[in-house]
Chains A and B, each alone.
Chain A
Amino acid sequence: MQLMILNSRNADAIRRLVQSKSDLNAALKSVAGFSLAGMLELFATAVGTADYQAQLQQIEEFAATRNGHVREAWLHWKGTAAAASGEVDCHASPTLEFFRLRTREDQTGLPYQLYQERFVRSLKEAEFQRKFAEALAGAMADMTDNVIQHSLALPGEFSGFVGFHILPGYMAFAVIDVGRGVLASLSRSPTWAHLHTASDALQAAVFQHASSRPDQPEGEGFRTLFKSLADRNCRLRFRSDNAVLNIEDAGMHREAAIASSPPLCGLQLSVCCTLKGRPEEKAVDGT
């Protein structure tokens, strides 16, 4: 395999490698760098694999060989990094930061509030207008709220994770969980119980704002996300079970494409946005 940047476009290639139980470490050595979405998708794939402990061991070994952001992200998800224990500079405006989501308190507590504030501060320093930055923070908070509200992931070691990556005129955030996925979630609702495929469920959630709450058939999260990104250059990717939905700005309009993907539990989503030009994911780690 040639050296490549692992991003959400080619994440399926790594997913196949992970799930085929081949030598993951060797495969990862062919990766020249990771976008935020690619890196988080790799983690989710490893955790969502049946023999995940072995896969995690390989990722751990791989992460240890890289002193960059892959290792940092890995430590965050494991909960051994400084930020995971609240030891972080509250006034910082980092370009890359992660936050793990395992309990309700992770979503509602002060550490996540401060994380959102750092996200806004970093965006403003990266030339994003305040109102747009706050709207993006609101959208990100709604996406992580979905992990707590709908994923039903066990509050164990690996349930939910969010990260952001910000450069001048560019931002990306990604939210992953390894819970029950969109189809299983919507099956609880009488309004959406007719959906039988992951593809239909994912499209209903994203485009029709389908929610699993029985007396509230429509949710606000994806509506908020799209409202915050209206008229912006952005690329969004959603995947759940064996469905993947890509939405991309194409000049004067947005194009959506639904496809299939090697199955994986939970929901993984990524958003990238540029103030100018075509939105392309940028590498966070290029050793």
Chain B
Amino acid sequence: MTPFCIPLVPGAPNALGATLGQDCMEKVLPSLEAATDDDHTLILDLTGIQAVNASFLKATVFWLFQCGQAYVKQQPRTSDEHWAVRPLRVFPAVTGCSGEVMSDVDDFFSGRQFPILHVDEGTADRIIKGHLLGRLDPVLEKTLAGLVAAGEATAAELAATSDDAITLNGWNNRLADLHLLRLARRRRRGKFWVYTPTTQHISIWG
């Protein structure tokens, strides 16, 4: 399983409205739908963008976020509408946000109680450094920090490095939540899930 990054570029200085967002997504949708065997990271590149609004974000990264969650929850496509939420093996992120655009993305995801990764440094096939926008529960924030420090881990391995008095099942739930929030990948090793953070280094914005 080799995750690869697909850049997503709005192509206009004012990223406003669902129509522009959909046009942007249309370019990558065929390759995303065809990729059923691998996870994909899709990074919305907002470099040089002067303004972004909720409709645009909802049609792009948030739509991807919902599709990624649908995959984890094994939910079917919601309808036959062209932009209906459907299960996709996708991990969305943003990059290149300037000050005000960063605030707007942060506000959008905070308002929905979800986090989104802002990529600060990466290569064609991996994210090296990033920070979180939006909102992440402090407990999950701590779990993510532990996972980043470990590089990869099962629930039992993470439990062994922590003083938190919670059950193994509790650690499993936390890691599964990070996976659902698109902040950790996972693969099977025997009967255990092995989790890997989507970025090698992470911080919280603001």
Q: What is B's interface to A at a CB cutoff of 8 Å? A: 12-14, 16-20, 23, 50-51, 53-55, 58, 78-79, 81, 83-85
Within the complex, the shortest CB–CB distance from B113 to chain A, in Å, comes to: 15
Closest to B20 in A: A108
In the bound complex, CA of A215 to CA of B13 (Å)? 29
Within the complex, the shortest CB–CB distance from A128 to chain B, in Å, comes to: 15
Within the complex, the shortest CB–CB distance from B86 to chain A, in Å, comes to: 10
Q: Which 6 A-B pairs have the closest CB atoms?
A: A145-B17, A141-B16, A220-B54, A215-B78, A220-B55, A138-B53
**Can you report 13 residue pairs joining A to B where beta carbons are below 8 Å apart?**
A104-B23, A107-B20, A108-B17, A108-B19, A113-B12, A137-B51, A138-B53, A145-B17, A145-B20, A145-B55, A213-B81, A215-B78, A215-B81
In the bound complex, CA of A137 to CA of B51 (Å)? 10
In the bound complex, CA of A221 to CA of B59 (Å)? 12
A141 near B12 (CB under 8 angstroms)? no
A145 near B14 (CB under 8 angstroms)? no
Known: A113-B14, A215-B84. 13 other contacts (CB 8 A): A108-B17, A110-B12, A134-B50, A138-B14, A138-B16, A141-B14, A141-B17, A141-B53, A145-B19, A145-B20, A214-B78, A214-B79, A220-B58
B23 near A108 (CB under 8 angstroms)? yes
Within the complex, the shortest CB–CB distance from A269 to chain B, in Å, comes to: 15
B53 near A220 (CB under 8 angstroms)? yes
Contacts A134-B51, A214-B81, A220-B55 given; does A107 touch B12 at CB 8 Å: no
Closest to B83 in A: A213
Closest to B16 in A: A141
Instruction: Report B-chain residues with C-beta under 8 Å of the C-beta of A224.
Output: 53-55
Those of A99-157 within 8 Å (CB) of chain B: 104, 107-108, 110, 113, 116-117, 134, 137-138, 141-142, 144-145, 148-149
Within the complex, the shortest CB–CB distance from A210 to chain B, in Å, comes to: 15
B14 near A137 (CB under 8 angstroms)? yes
Contacts A145-B18, A223-B54 given; does A215 touch B85 at CB 8 Å: yes
Q: Does A219 contact B (CB under 8 A)?
A: yes
Q: Does A216 contact B (CB under 8 A)?
A: yes
Contacts A145-B19, A148-B19, A214-B79 given; does A108 touch B12 at CB 8 Å: yes
B19 near A107 (CB under 8 angstroms)? yes
In the bound complex, CA of A107 to CA of B18 (Å)? 10
Residue among A104, A108, A116 with the highest chain B CB neighbour number at 10 A: A108
In the bound complex, CA of A219 to CA of B20 (Å)? 15
Instruction: Report B-chain residues with C-beta under 8 Å of the C-beta of A110.
Output: 12
Residue among B17, B79, B84 with the highest chain A CB neighbour number at 10 A: B17
B16 near A116 (CB under 8 angstroms)? yes
Instruction: Report B-chain residues with C-beta under 8 Å of the C-beta of A142.
Output: 16-17, 53, 55
Among the listed B13, B51, B85, which residue makes an inter-chain contact with A138, where contact means beta carbons less than 8 Å apart?
Answer: B51
Instruction: Report A-chain residues with C-beta under 8 Å of the C-beta of B19.
Output: 104, 107-108, 145, 148-149
In the bound complex, CA of A188 to CA of B55 (Å)? 19
Those of A198-224 within 8 Å (CB) of chain B: 213-216, 219-221, 223-224
Closest to A218 in B: B58
In the bound complex, CA of A220 to CA of B52 (Å)? 13
Within the complex, the shortest CB–CB distance from B187 to chain A, in Å, comes to: 29
Within the complex, the shortest CB–CB distance from B49 to chain A, in Å, comes to: 11
In the bound complex, CA of A220 to CA of B50 (Å)? 19
In the bound complex, CA of A221 to CA of B18 (Å)? 9
Among the listed A107, A117, A213, A215, which residue makes an inter-chain contact with B17, where contact means beta carbons less than 8 Å apart?
Answer: A107
Closest to B55 in A: A220
In the bound complex, CA of A162 to CA of B84 (Å)? 29
In the bound complex, CA of A113 to CA of B12 (Å)? 7
Within the complex, the shortest CB–CB distance from A224 to chain B, in Å, comes to: 6
Instruction: Report A-chain residues with C-beta under 8 Å of the C-beta of B20.
Output: 107-108, 145
Closest to B84 in A: A215
Among the listed A116, A216, A219, which residue makes an inter-chain contact with B14, where contact means beta carbons less than 8 Å apart?
Answer: A116
Those of A12-67 within 8 Å (CB) of chain B: none
